Amino acid sequence: MSVAFRSTLAVLMLLTVGAPTRLATRAPTGGAIRTRVVLLGTGTPVPDPDRSGPATVITVDDRAYLVDFGPGVIRRAEAAALRGVTAAEPGNLKVAFVTHLHSDHTAGYSDLILSGWTSGRKIPLEVYGPSGLQSMTEHILQAYRVDIETRSNPDGPMRDFGRFPDAWKVHAHEIKPGVIYKDEKVMVTAFATKHAMESYGYRFETPDRTIVISGDTSPVEETIKACNGCDVLIHEAQPIELLAKMPESIHSFVAKYHTTTEQLAELATKAKPKLLVI
């Protein structure tokens, strides 16, 4: 089964048939649905006004786990919250994972840090990703030093933010393949993918679903192993007809570091996800 979404915000109730934004309240087995996947943005580096940058949030009960933070991530998270996915409220985005450090996947990082804080996050943000994440984080915080100092000053004009003086901070974790995060709601395993820089996909195991997110990558065996019959596989794909129209300089890059629809069909046949989101 394959599903392609055009809308900027698509809410996917796992294994539930219906319109992308329709919310179900019961699982097929009759139990309450605990896990949701929300595609906050599915855009590319091309500034399409109808698509926000890459960002996906997985919610389990009242917890939210963000993967990638492209342009528009906070506003799309608020849109999801207004449409019933309250766990995705910006102030509730406390744990995030990034597949790689290309700008279209990270341009919303400062917004995630600062708007999450001003929207009610009370603790430091935890972020997991490839080498270079710590440096990126440090430079963003330095760039917004004046803003942070103003908002966190308990005697200043914006002293309300001083109630949570550490909530602007970020704990950046540079990862390697393997289990990188675990709490009572989810276990997250990173696996190496093949893009133009160090890159990872992520496998989320929740109490009722297993979800795999590829990020940008050419087809790799690690994705097949990570899925292995998973409930949901979210994988990028480049239509062959679009690839054929690209200039040679771009065509060679895409052919080397991305996945065509034909290649994805072959990969999914081996990975056997119950639901494939393209």
Q: Identify the residue with better confidence: 42 or 6.
A: 42
Residue 157, both tokens = 């004009």
Give the pLDDT of residue 246.
Answer: 79
Contacts of 95 by beta carbon, 8 Å cutoff, 6+ apart: 63, 64, 65, 66, 125, 126, 127, 128, 181
Q: Where are the domains of the chain?
A: 2-277
Pick among 3.60.15.10, 1.10.240.10, 3.90.1150.10, 3.40.50.300: CATH of 2-277: 3.60.15.10
Are the CB atoms for 202 and 99 separated by under 8 Å?
yes
> pLDDT tens, 92-114?
999 999 999 999 999 999 999 99
Assign 161 a pLDDT band (cuts: 50, 70, 90): low
The rounded distance, in Å, linking the Cα atoms of 5 and 11 is: 10
Compute φ and ψ for 32, nearest 5 degrees: -70, 140
Give the pLDDT of residue 173.
Answer: 98
Give the pLDDT of residue 163.
Answer: 67
Assign 13 a pLDDT band (cuts: 50, 70, 90): very low
Residue 5 reports pLDDT greater than 50? no
Looking at the chain, the whole-number percentage of residues with pLDDT higher than 90 is 73
Assign 6 a pLDDT band (cuts: 50, 70, 90): very low
> pLDDT tens, 126-156?
999 999 999 999 999 999 999 998 888 777 6
